[in-house]
Structure 1
Amino acid sequence: MTAITDITDMSDIADNTLADSGKPQRGIQSLDNTGQLLAALVAAGRPLPLGELARAAGMVPAKAFPHLVSLQKIGLLSRDASGDFLAGPLGLELGLIALQRLSPTREAEPEVIALAHATGLSVAMAVHGPLGPTVIRLEESARPQHVSLRVGTVLSMVNTAIGRTVAAHLSADVLAGALAQDAIRMAGVAPDTVLSADGTLQAHYAERLRGVREAGIDNAVSRPVPGIDTLAAPVFDHTGALAVVIAVMGSSGSFDSDTGSDTATVVRQAAQRLSWRFGAPA
């Protein structure tokens, strides 16, 4: 028994040594090919027939088919009524385990840092907290800027891009209750500014939120801080609910803060990458 334990320990040491050496480790070629098929199916985002899936993975169907049969046998893939390949029960279980382990704020950290470097602007990340849209992360720009936001700042749902982006993705009843407290937030307003007597949204505010949902981004010019512009985009989780909002901020005139600008595209793309990472529906 001791000899077996020693051999196992030596094997573990050898594996760790290989991993630490930085040298590429030799895998199993057939499994690498199988991985190409899985990656192609994920990239497509929909069920695929044999021929199309094989082409996407760079294989001929005759080579791909045995791999797909094995993937079906172990439950990683299955086939629908049309014979197209899609995720199987084991594949779905593995995906759910990965989603359960995700921490949106932790997973978004590298994207926030990369966005700050790519744009040269400050980047904030916010969530819908108990008091409203709350800044939980702030990556400062390398260029000096007078941005008065701090971690813990709670923002208006009416006068800030981050707040409107949160508001645009809340249910009507939750939003109405949240707007009742807007006056206590940074740049907040009295409820009757955007809420009618019957509790429905006033037309101008409802239209603005609809535009935020359609564009996938919102902007604020010199608000809530005079001289500072903001672009904010939503990030969704695997249930389709809002997970976080990411936003870039910079001095007015130092970047194009229009929602159709190149900077806006970069922000939207970062948000979309994170949504994909969190398993958000297409």
Structure 2
Amino acid sequence: MQTDTPDTSDFSATQASDPKMQRGISALDSTGELLLALVSAGRPLSLRDLAAAADMPAAKAFPHLVSLLKVGVLSRDDAGYFNAGPLSMELGLIALQRMSPIRDAEPEIVTLAIESGMSVAVAILGPLGPTVIRFEESARPQHVSLRVGTVMSLVNTAIGRVFAAYLSDDVLIGLLAQESVRLAAANPADVVVSAKKAAPSLAHTYQARRTKVMAHGIDSALDAPVPGIGTLAAPVFDHTGSIGLVVALIGPSGSFDHSLDGATAQKLLAATRRLSWRFGWIGG
């Protein structure tokens, strides 16, 4: 007997990645807008504030919120503020357990390399310092002395300085003691000075650079440590707000815009923000 049940056997990954190609339920789209507004706020919201953040009347938002409360996606405190519910927390924990930063970042890394025409390096903070764990080469050959396993200077490379910007002083000072083992290493004595009673503090110029990196969310290096090569590097944060990865664009210094607010920098920042969001970061 023939039925009108739609055939979903041809539901492909391409279709799934493009919501415009799928017919959804408009009411659930509105529900999603409320959830996104709550996540973006990063704090509990009242009905009025949540509806305003989702750009919809409170009367329209309320039935959606009631349903979300019933299934446990949201909770509501005694003051009437909405927040994540037990089901949201369970789903979040499942996502965190299954999360693999390198695996999940792979599509973004490949796309960034293709769209920018530059090489892309990804580094984590390993036992010896910032360590390259993924290197996607550009279509154009570049003379870059980077490979998987390279440990980067915390002082003289953009990748290292981005990590340094988001580390506490005591952790950073301990890592600087191992600076000699890293690519383009600096003399730790040039960075760390001893104050009275041997209490260590970071040199003023280095601290100023760290502050600048945090203000812009990105750092650059031109013709250093490799002459003729430029780098832009930006952080990826995890659900705790801690730096998890640094992603860097690397290319010939004379052929790309290496300014911190240029088009290439914005492309990199967009990619790292998407990854941070993917890893649970809901910061600014």
Query: TM (normalized to structure 1)?
Result: 0.84
Where do 5+ consecutive residues of structure 1 fail to align? Answer: 1-13
Aligned counterparts, 1:199-214, within 5 A: 199-214=200-215
1:175-234 Cα offsets, whole Å, 9 max, x none, are 111101111111102210101134211111111111111110010111111110000001
Change in Cα spacing, 1:265 to 1:21, as seen in structure 2 (3 Å) is closer
In the alignment of these two chains, the number of paired residues is 268
1:240 is aligned to: 241
Counterpart contact for 1:237–1:243, Cα < 8 Å: yes
Change in Cα spacing, 1:240 to 1:39, as seen in structure 2 (3 Å) is closer
Q: How far has the Cα of 1:57 moved from its partner?
A: 6.2
Which of 58-67 and 267-276 deviates more? 58-67
Q: Does structure 1 residue 151 correspond to structure 2 residue 141?
A: no
Aligned counterparts, 1:205-224, within 5 A: 205-224=206-225
1:6 is aligned to: none
Counterpart contact for 1:217–1:234, Cα < 8 Å: yes
Letter in 1 for 2:168: S
Q: How far has the Cα of 1:47 moved from its partner?
A: 4.1
Which of 83-92 and 261-270 deviates more? 83-92
Counterpart contact for 1:18–1:25, Cα < 8 Å: no
Structure 1 SS opposite 2:142: coil
1:141 is aligned to: 138
1:193 is aligned to: 190
Cα distance between partner residues in 1 of 2:46 and 2:25: 26
1:164 is aligned to: 161
Counterpart contact for 1:239–1:281, Cα < 8 Å: no
1:127 is aligned to: 124
Q: Percent identity?
A: 60
Which of 267-276 and 82-91 deviates more? 82-91
Q: How far has the Cα of 1:160 moved from its partner?
A: 0.2
Change in Cα spacing, 1:218 to 1:34, as seen in structure 2 (3 Å) is closer
Counterpart contact for 1:37–1:57, Cα < 8 Å: yes
Q: Does structure 1 residue 184 correspond to structure 2 residue 190?
A: no
2:18 is aligned to: none
Which of 261-270 and 133-142 deviates more? 261-270
2:232 is aligned to: 231
Structure 1 SS opposite 2:193: coil
Aligned counterparts, 1:1-12, within 5 A: none
1:124-182 Cα offsets, whole Å, 9 max, x none, are 00000011110000111112211121111111111000011111111211111110111
Change in Cα spacing, 1:73 to 1:251, as seen in structure 2 (3 Å) is same
Aligned counterparts, 1:1-282, within 5 A: 18-20=8-10, 34-35=31-32, 37-42=34-39, 45-50=42-47, 53=50, 61-197=58-194, 198=198, 199-282=200-283
Change in Cα spacing, 1:88 to 1:174, as seen in structure 2 (3 Å) is same
Change in Cα spacing, 1:56 to 1:207, as seen in structure 2 (3 Å) is closer
Letter in 2 for 1:18: T
Change in Cα spacing, 1:162 to 1:33, as seen in structure 2 (3 Å) is closer
Counterpart contact for 1:180–1:190, Cα < 8 Å: no
Letter in 1 for 2:279: F
Counterpart contact for 2:158–2:232, Cα < 8 Å: yes
Counterpart contact for 2:123–2:133, Cα < 8 Å: yes
Alignment RMSD (CA, Å): 2.7
Cα distance between partner residues in 1 of 2:44 and 2:279: 20
From the CA coordinates, give the structure whose radius of gyration is larger: 1
Q: How far has the Cα of 1:40 moved from its partner?
A: 4.9
Letter in 2 for 1:208: R
Structure 1 SS opposite 2:8: helix
Q: How far has the Cα of 1:267 moved from its partner?
A: 1.0
